[in-house]
Chains A and B, each alone.
Chain A
Amino acid sequence: MLASNINVTVRLSAPMLLKLVGGFASVGLPGNMTLFHFGNCFALAYFPYFITYKCSGLSEYNAFWRCVQAGATYLFVQLCKMLFLATFFPTWEGGAGVYDFVGEFMKATVDLADLLGLHLVMSRNAGKGEYKIMVAAMGWATAELVMSRCIPLWVGARGIEFDWKYIQMSFDSNISLVHYIAMAAVVWMFTRYDLPKSFRLPVTVLLGLCVYKAFLMELFVHVFLLGSWTALLVKAVLTGSISLCSLFLFVTLVHSN
């Protein structure tokens, strides 16, 4: 009874919220344009996910709820990782310019939990290989988009101050989508019992690269002092190469069966 009341309240307040947004848009040129800028960044970040969801045929399988479950698993895994890092890794108390290679390496190793999480999601879903991979990757990547990018975009891109970093953040979310699809594919391949011996090594290498990609990126930026756009380009190239290799291996594996 009360729940349906809340239901009705939210449904009624939706047009009010829309009016609020419209009010923002009509405020004056700066306010108008900054909401527009937020819209730009949001579109840039979110539409590829939407397109991927539609084109990969997931909508035919009623996979929305399963994607939400994958997202919930993402949240849970991130929480565990944070607790682990906070407990076992003390804060770095070295000089400001020195980069703690070993420490960051250990922290990156904790990202192995991501692989476990993806494996957990995929094992709970029944179906073909592609279906499992896409559901897990879409849910995982969307959860990451919402958690780590939406709020900075909302808070920052709407402000008067313009910064290129919001566009870069949106591009980064596109790259993350590709990265998670590749990671899910590699995990799936790794756990297959009928994986040929010759594939073991490349799959393991790709797995390692996926986990340590963030660490490698930080290393590159620190050593070569890359600018923000150059770093984004390097990240795109790295992710692109990983995903192409994994795609190749996946297609070969699927067709050989």
Chain B
Amino acid sequence: MFEEASEVFDNMFKSSFPLTFIVFIPAVLILVSPLPAEAAHEFTVYRMQQYDLQGQPYGTRNAILNTEARTVEAEVLSRRCVIMRLVDFSYERYQKALRQSAGAVVIILPKNMSTMPQDIVQFMELEPEMLATETIVPVYFALEDDELLSIYTQTLTSSSSQGSSSAAEVLIHTATANGFQMVTSGAQSKAVSDWAITSLEGRLAGTGGEDLPTIVLVAHYDSFGVAPWLSYGADSNGSGVSMLLELARLFSRLYTYKRTHAGYNLLFFVSGGGKFNYQGTKRWLEDNLDHTDSSLLQDNVAFVLCLDTLGNGDSLHLHVSKPPKEGTAQYALLKELETVASNQYPEVKFSMVHKKINLADDTLAWEHERFGIRRLPAFTLSHLNSHREVQRSSIMDVRPHVDLRKLSRNTKLIAESLARVIYNLTEKGAPGDLQIFTEQMMQEEQLSSVVDWLTAQPRAAQLVDKDSSVVSTLEYHLGRYLKDVRRHYVKADKRDPEFVFYDQLKQTMNAYRVKPAIFDLLLAFCIAAYLGVIYLSIQKVVERLYAKSP
């Protein structure tokens, strides 16, 4: 038959030239065509952090994976993608996967995270440990849906039955079970060059001559978590930013009227890169103190108040690096805070926490330490007792973590205390429970909507570039209340970068159904048997037909 076939093709070649093209060019094109992808399931995955801070690498170093899926119960984990659910996640299992040189780790997060508080707290504590060391293995997080769950259960049954069955069971198992091949679609991760961290500043000028004292209010707007695309940072520091905006609104209203226009300059600073050792604040200070001739920060700074994580809790801690001396504006604020808290909000436990700046640490503790290094009097207000609390850098810090009533109460407390300092009310004899801001002035809906907007998108520093909507909306908001709203950019130094960010933080992962290699051999065997039967039966039929015919 092949001789006939080649004869026919020879005729085809010799007779008509275009026919050969019509037949062979499509054939060649089809042969070398790339394979289209038709996956069992396609889902978005979010990569663990990858960054360098002051030359030290953190997080996962790899982004691509193309490996078969297994769960932790399987015996052989090397070069496989280990899938874990959050309920089963523990640090020992994670370490086990890494020690056996797994190809990748995928952690499935439940849709409704608030239903399992135990797991959440446990996970929050593990996040910094996962990030502390550098891993070559790519670690991804995926949000659970039904198909992913079914993929997980199928992988679980096939992984846990690996060691313990007879030959017949293994044979049946290969025919019926599905393996899954996990493939990411993106490229290898590389450093992002020329990333600009944006910060915003605005001011309200005081009245009554030159050389007025300045009060600086600072809050960083970026968020941090084990996966950048999942860091919503509701309490830390969405609460701080919304409180800053509310204070800006209140004081701009007071400053519009001549009678209430005080003799203090108010400088508001929304800083970026806060979770990466306060890069925005550091560069802003350098620019204002070293590279400009005159700036509000160089002259008379009364104090710098940093707002960090104030959306929950019934305590307020004022973190200082040096206890304020009597007679300074710092001391006045401390006293006013104590007064207002004890008189108007007795449920709030207010205290001062003294922590010296430790320059030998990898990162600074609170934002006020940046100002402290430049010898500006500064403190940070937070409901957290220590900067090491895991709530400050967790992906579990989502909108339900912010209690709006407590945030609003804290805002009022701080606004009252600031007003008392600015207008010097205690010296003028105002009683401790005098409320300056009435109920109508405090707008809880505005606070609520700002927090809702802030927590609706991830605000990791790697994701907010200078054209981002977060920055432009904040700029617009500040522009409504403050004058001289300016942007400030920080780019890493070329030769010795303080921070390096990497890309490929969000990928699409495809899960392909695959059968084990033995299955194909088994199938080939069955097909050969079937073809043998067909051949024999056709021969029989033809013999019988030709035997009968005359």
Contacts and interface: CB of A to CB of B under 8 A. Distances in A.
A158 B527 contact: no
A65 B10 CA distance: 12
Given A20-B32, A37-B520, A154-B30, A10 B1 contact: no
A6 B545 CA distance: 45
A230 B530 CA distance: 19
A159 B33 CA distance: 12
Nearest to B546: A57
B172 interface: no
B362 to A, nearest CB: 41
B548 A6 contact: no
Given A44-B530, A56-B542, A161-B39, A3 B512 contact: no
B13 A251 contact: no
A98 interface: no
Contacts of A37: 515, 520, 523
Interface of A: 2-4, 6-7, 10, 13, 17, 20, 29-30, 33, 36-37, 39-40, 43-44, 47-48, 50-57, 59, 62, 64-65, 68, 130, 151, 154-156, 158-163, 167, 174, 251, 254-255
A243 to B, nearest CB: 11
Contacts of A6: 13, 17, 20-21
A187 B40 CA distance: 44
Contacts of B13: 3-4, 6-7
A254 B547 CA distance: 13
A161 B530 CA distance: 25
Contact of B531 (A7, A17, A43, A155): A43
30 contacts: A3-B13, A6-B17, A6-B21, A7-B20, A10-B20, A20-B32, A36-B520, A40-B524, A43-B531, A47-B534, A54-B1, A55-B535, A59-B4, A62-B4, A65-B8, A68-B8, A151-B30, A155-B36, A158-B35, A159-B35, A159-B36, A160-B183, A161-B38, A161-B39, A161-B513, A162-B514, A162-B515, A167-B523, A255-B549, A255-B550
B38 A64 contact: no
Nearest to A63: B4
A52 B538 CA distance: 7
A132 to B, nearest CB: 15
A213 to B, nearest CB: 21
B50 to A, nearest CB: 27
A13 B523 CA distance: 32
B359 interface: no
B535 A51 contact: yes
Instruction: Give the one of B5, B35, B183, B530 with max A CB within 10 A.
Output: B35
B181 interface: yes
Nearest to B521: A36
Nearest to B15: A3
A155 B29 CA distance: 12
A72 to B, nearest CB: 12
Interface in B17-66: 17, 20-21, 24, 28, 30-33, 35-40
Contacts of B178: 162
Contact of A48 (B17, B183, B512, B531): B531
Pairs of residues from A and B, 3 with the lowest C-beta to C-beta distance, nearest first: A64-B4, A160-B512, A161-B512
B539 interface: yes
A56 B38 CA distance: 40
A55 B523 contact: no
A3 B36 CA distance: 34
B103 to A, nearest CB: 13
A9 to B, nearest CB: 9
Contact of B520 (A33, A51, A62): A33
Interface residues of B, number: 45
Given A40-B520, A159-B35, A3 B20 contact: yes
Contacts of B549: 254-255
B514 A40 contact: no
A151 B527 CA distance: 21
Contacts of A160: 35, 37, 181, 183, 512, 514
A159 B524 contact: no
Interface in B526-543: 527, 530-531, 534-535, 538-539, 542
Given A154-B30, A251-B548, A163 B513 contact: yes
A244 B184 CA distance: 52
A158 B40 CA distance: 15
A129 B548 CA distance: 15
Contacts of A29: 517
Given A36-B520, A251-B548, A255-B549, A64 B538 contact: no
Nearest to B13: A7
B35 A64 contact: no
Contacts of B534: 47-48, 51, 174
B9 to A, nearest CB: 9
Interface string B491-532: 000000000000000000000111101001001100100110
Contacts of B31: 17, 20
B8 A30 contact: no
Contacts of A20: 31-32
B375 interface: no
Contacts of A65: 4, 8
A196 B113 CA distance: 79
Nearest to B530: A44
B259 interface: no
Given A7-B14, A155-B36, A251-B545, 15 more contacts: A3-B13, A3-B17, A3-B20, A30-B181, A44-B527, A44-B531, A65-B8, A68-B8, A155-B33, A159-B38, A161-B37, A161-B513, A161-B514, A163-B513, A174-B534
A56 B14 CA distance: 31
A100 B278 CA distance: 67
A119 B151 CA distance: 52
B540 to A, nearest CB: 10
A254 B531 CA distance: 29
A131 B360 CA distance: 95
A62 B531 CA distance: 25
